[in-house]
Chains A and B, each alone.
Chain A
């Protein structure tokens, strides 16, 4: 154990005994069955991260095919039908299967560690959420490979996605993929909120929470209020297609703009749902690189919360071209511009933190620098398109493609790569190579700019989005070729990252508990963390949990070690309040997820999916709720102690 460890008084023998006991209690079975029944947030979080990254690669391959098609004018590599599926699946993958789940996954893995909990709240629901998400992802790609991939974009506008203009089951695959991922996201959000509210280590009052945890909290609340909109919209679409409701049929009183309002009321917060956790990651990386608390903590928290609120006031700026009334537009312009302020404040605070310290130029920090540069570009184009008049020119052109990729790749994926380098040692116990990491960063940064910077100009020269080809006479060929070369560079950089990961897993340098000298509790336990997370739940004494620990290192005592007993604390001050028993590993979440999967996939084809699937789900959840003998005995024992 290193100096920063949260462990208590030095008594190695007692600690070893405690370790043995806790390990016996919290350790889960290994192997395939163990994998299927796991309820450990680290195990679920890890597979969430790996799965989401796999979808990032798949989505990237879609993009690579699209870029190959667009490299030259009038190219015939990919026809319009496949191209439409590719860009639809690309967007759907990146938003629903990569970005949101990845950010949730980082929360699932690190929030319990950062707040000093033994596991996430509702561990079984956590496993269920993962499986549902996985089913959704498999559905989308099964769709693509059987020529049933969504074809009307990730935004899936009706009537193009409606029953008349999208025959077959392609849009239904979209609708149910969305349903699955929304269920998973909402579940993840509820768990993260409750973990943050009720499972914080004693002493970690709200004002002492790490900024990453704040970011996750804001994100989770945004998910709670945003995701139901798209879930409802996709449900309406599925009903229009399956049982002939008329939500989007103008001839019977329906409205095509209803879809757009519902979709973007989710769709814009979605961007911040992806971006806000990335801000939290940047704060942790900067704080470790400078060995400083982030300058202006209260302002940072306020900025995150304000971003969360403002994120809901912008949806109509995606609809300026539909001709909504002028007055309303001005409101959305003002809101869209205002949201730049909290982002600006955070950048200034980071700079202030860095200014007064001497940062170590590690790979995570390089990614942070890259993030600021890319994000400012994306942010500025964002402010430009908040202007109604300017947006009416560049809306739905490659200018927007450039903007959104600067914001999402620059604002979210770049910090995410930084976070991978930063936390990889915590998850695996091994360092990633700094040399390969620097190459990865350089290639990635170059690739992003090479791919997306020219697209601004393409948009202004008239190239619209979602075109499978363009005529030679447009003169867009050269810039498009440049963008394709850039895309290849990005692909190369990601390949390099994979090599780096593989190399480190096989023979990386052993990292130790706290290689970056981080401030948060996750660095206070071993790398990788033990099954029970913390030998002793620490009592938190300051904002930087590890840096502020006094030499006597106070901890929580009196929690049972023979069962999954965890501590519940109060909402504001994190005073110890009660003891709670977490469930042991079980296969029930998997069964319930399969029942859910059967229900919604059957609903693509027949309304009978509802009663049949409903019965299956009821059976699964009743079995879930009913305690088996073992867990009953255990619970009774805990209640009597």
Chain B
């Protein structure tokens, strides 16, 4: 179990408690302040309640009504409540201002489109041939603001990277955006937070924050088309891909496969996970996923595929070349 957790954390931290951006940090601090206040007030009120209930003194009714100190106590408690709330309000406004300020120039724009149940990620450029499309994994450079342009292809989703910022909905017919700046490198997990159907539970996304140089290297690799396989098994695998059901939904740049119904597979092998953050990207998992995705994510749009074992192995070999 511990090992599994460690493995998972290598796949992406996912907690409000561990902020790595200014936004998440400010929210975290606001939360801490509110927790401490809440705890103090809670203890005070419950103590007052229990003391009142347990003290064995009974004041005559008319005396209670005319007792000024009781009224004063109630009044003071109300005033204190109001002050605490007012302080919270001010704190909230200041945090709100801090985290919604304009990201400024030089921010990287990334278009994220929610699909049932995966994320399409597109790095656009003034030149369309420089566009890079991937899925379920966003790479960002450390120390530079990133703006996610959020859209939806079907129902409402919500992108939530707790270590980086709060969540924002992806709404069909509407555009939203969310920005953050990762201050330390690492792999952070984001999850769909708005209920979106059968596989809402397994709709995750990894955000990989890395040094600017490695980010640029990654991006330029992602812009490339897929290499034509040289190995004969991989070539056979490509034939399987293009001649079977795969080609109806998936795109691999540099081949005739160009459908945008499912995730773009041009650089599938470079991704850490498959099935929207559900499984580590290994040959075994990939095989299981292709043969019967419904066993892993019941209701997912991808149908079970019946492939002969030679075809499957060739296909896997081909997919592994897509780095």
Residues of A within 8 A of B (CB): 79-81, 84, 152-153, 157, 159-160, 165, 250-251, 254-257, 292-293, 295-296, 299, 321-323, 326, 329-330, 333-334, 337-338, 340-341, 344-345, 347-349, 351-352, 354-359, 361, 369, 372-373, 376-377, 380-381, 383-384, 386-397, 460-462, 464-475, 477
Q: Which residues of B contact A475 (CB under 8 A)?
A: 1, 5, 8
Q: Which residues of B contact A386 (CB under 8 A)?
A: 88, 92
Known: A84-B198, A344-B81. A393 touches B45 (CB 8 A): no
Please pick, from A321, A359, A477, the residue contacting B167 in the complex, using a CB distance under 8 A. A321
- The A interface, classified by DSSP as helix, strand, loop or mixed, is helix
Please pick, from A299, A376, A392, A396, the residue contacting B42 in the complex, using a CB distance under 8 A. A376
Please pick, from B74, B96, B156, B201, the residue contacting A296 in the complex, using a CB distance under 8 A. B74
**Complex Cα distance A393/B164, Å?**
10
What 19 new A-B contacts, CB under 8 Å, besides A81-B198, A255-B173, A361-B53? A81-B299, A257-B174, A326-B100, A345-B78, A348-B77, A351-B45, A355-B51, A356-B63, A369-B53, A377-B42, A387-B30, A390-B31, A392-B166, A395-B193, A396-B195, A461-B15, A462-B160, A467-B201, A475-B8
Q: Which residues of A contact B42 (CB under 8 A)?
A: 376-377, 380
- The size bracket of the interface on B is 35 or more
B229 on interface, CB distance cutoff 8 Å: no
Closest to B60 in A: A356
Contact assessment for A355 and B173 in the assembled complex, using a CB-CB cutoff below 8 Å:
no
Number of interchain pairs (Cβ within 8 Å): 249
Closest to A394 in B: B16
Q: Which residues of A contact B51 (CB under 8 A)?
A: 355
Contact assessment for A473 and B70 in the assembled complex, using a CB-CB cutoff below 8 Å:
no
CB distance from A365 to the nearest CB of B (A): 8
Contact assessment for A81 and B298 in the assembled complex, using a CB-CB cutoff below 8 Å:
yes
Contact assessment for B173 and A473 in the assembled complex, using a CB-CB cutoff below 8 Å:
no
CB distance from A61 to the nearest CB of B (A): 21
Known: A341-B82, A471-B8. A376 touches B45 (CB 8 A): yes
Q: Which residues of B contact A473 (CB under 8 A)?
A: 4-5, 7-8, 11
**Complex Cα distance A256/B166, Å?**
22
Identify which of residues 211-232 in chain B touch chain A, using a CB-to-CB cut-off of 8 Å. Answer: none
Contact assessment for A80 and B74 in the assembled complex, using a CB-CB cutoff below 8 Å:
no
Kindly supply a per-residue 1/0 record for chain B positions 160-195, scoring 1 wherever the CB is within 8 Å of any chain A CB and 0 otherwise: 101001111101111011000000000001011111
**Complex Cα distance A625/B108, Å?**
70
Please pick, from A337, A349, A369, A468, the residue contacting B201 in the complex, using a CB distance under 8 A. A468
Residues of B within 8 A of A (CB): 1, 4-5, 7-8, 11, 14-17, 24, 26-27, 30-31, 34, 38, 41-42, 45-46, 48-53, 55-59, 61, 63-65, 67, 70-71, 73-74, 77-78, 81-82, 85, 88-89, 91-93, 95-96, 99-100, 154-156, 158, 160, 162, 165-169, 171-174, 176-177, 189, 191-202, 278, 298-299
Q: Which residues of A contact B56 (CB under 8 A)?
A: 358
A-B contact pairs, 12 of them (CB 8 A): A157-B155, A160-B196, A257-B174, A321-B167, A340-B81, A341-B78, A356-B58, A369-B53, A373-B49, A380-B41, A387-B91, A460-B162
Known: A321-B169, A397-B193, A465-B195. A292 touches B11 (CB 8 A): no
CB distance from B296 to the nearest CB of A (A): 10
Closest to B167 in A: A321
Closest to A395 in B: B167
Known: A369-B49, A396-B158. A344 touches B27 (CB 8 A): no
Q: Which residues of B contact A81 (CB under 8 A)?
A: 198, 298-299
**Complex Cα distance A489/B231, Å?**
62
